[in-house]
Amino acid sequence: MKKKCLFFYEEDQGNYVKDLLEVARQMYGENFESYALVINPLDVNVISGFDYLLAVKDQRLKDYDLINITSLMAECQQVYQFDAVIVLATQLGRMLSPRLAMRLHVGLVADITAIKSHPDGTIEMIRPAFEGKLLAGIINDGDGPTMMSVRPGVFLDQQSTAKIPEVLACQLQTIEDTGMRRISQIRKPDSRDIRESRVLVAGGGGVLKDFDQLDQLAQALGGMTAASRRIVDSNKADRTIQVGQSGKTVHPELYIALGIYGALQHVAGLNKVKHLIAVNTNIKAPICSLADIVVEGDAAEFVRKLTTRINENKQAE
């Protein structure tokens, strides 16, 4: 019998559908059915990859109403008896998943970054712990569905398909008046995410004083700037561009590591990087053993010279 997996689908996070499906695939192989729950979808025809789409169309149910969305997912669990419930660890997902876990009386493993499926059928969920200093492996041996939230950009789907889901009507039996109202809404200006960049210029402790210069090189290469935890903790960069266990997991085509030591916590954030260039005064730093090219020397000087050379070549064209 195939395993049943329920996914909470956020329309503005459609790029990560493949990540969610890969989690289920690593747990059950191809022996699973995928059900995606979506609230008031704009167009069900653009959602693909899942076997079934539980489409809820009720304007009384708001996208910020976690109380009623939790009740809806709990009712779906009663009807379909899912073996696993998988939520993307977005701002909404991080608030929704613990509420649902409490409602279903099951454990929750948050922000997982890896899955191990053991021969006896046991599923081990792996997540960073103690601020990314180590990895914890957690096994659910209780009753009820295996429930987890998944860090975006970690699981790369190896067998993506353009499967068109069968749309199933879904309705919450009783919508509670929670008293929640959206008084106002301010949308942040659209900003790029380092997980979407093909080129990343990343700085560590070796360029702490010169981190601001990395933007020029990233711009010249058509990429983005990223940072190690050392840079973020020193208030030189925002945590949104941090790479590592306590930051984001990235998979660019080119990753330039400037003055980065490359401890386990940082390396864990590099997922299938195609090409890696390490610039460091210490060629025995762990990051150098992973690099395609190692440049021994001052990383800040490397940035200045490479930026100048690229810009000169562009002007000569």
Return the pLDDT at 189.
62
Return the pLDDT at 158.
60
Return the pLDDT at 74.
95
* Closest C-alpha to 112, from 141, 145, 146: 146
For the question of whether the overall pTM of this predicted structure is more than 0.85, the answer is no
Return the pLDDT at 161.
63
* Closest C-alpha to 113, from 85, 154, 158: 154
Sign of CA dihedral 287, 290, 291, 294: positive
Is beta strand 123-129 parallel, antiparallel or unpaired with respect to 134-139? antiparallel
The CATH code of domain 194-316 reads 3.40.50.1220
Return the pLDDT at 132.
64
Return the pLDDT at 233.
93
String of b and e for 162-179 (b: at least 16 CB within 10 Å)?
A: eeebeeeebebeeeeeee
Return the pLDDT at 108.
95
Return the pLDDT at 160.
59
3-170 and 194-316 have identical folds? yes
Sign of CA dihedral 35, 36, 42, 46: negative
Task: Classify 242 as helix, strand or coil.
Answer: strand
Burial of 293 (0-12, 13-18, 19+ CB in 10 A): exposed
Q: What is the pLDDT along the chain (317 residues), one digit of tens a residue?
A: 899 999 999 888 777 888 889 999 999 998 999 999 999 888 888 888 899 999 998 888 888 889 999 999 999 999 999 999 999 998 899 999 999 999 999 999 999 988 998 888 889 999 888 766 678 899 988 788 999 999 888 887 666 567 889 999 888 888 888 888 888 877 766 567 898 899 999 999 999 999 999 999 999 999 999 999 999 999 999 999 999 888 888 999 999 999 999 988 898 889 889 999 999 999 999 999 999 999 999 999 999 999 999 998 888 77
Q: Which whole-number Å values give the CA distances from 301 to 3, 214, 225, 259, 291, in the listed order?
A: 55, 11, 17, 11, 19
Domain boundaries, the chain: 3-170, 194-316
Quick one: CATH architecture of 3-170? Answer: 3-Layer(aba) Sandwich (3.40)
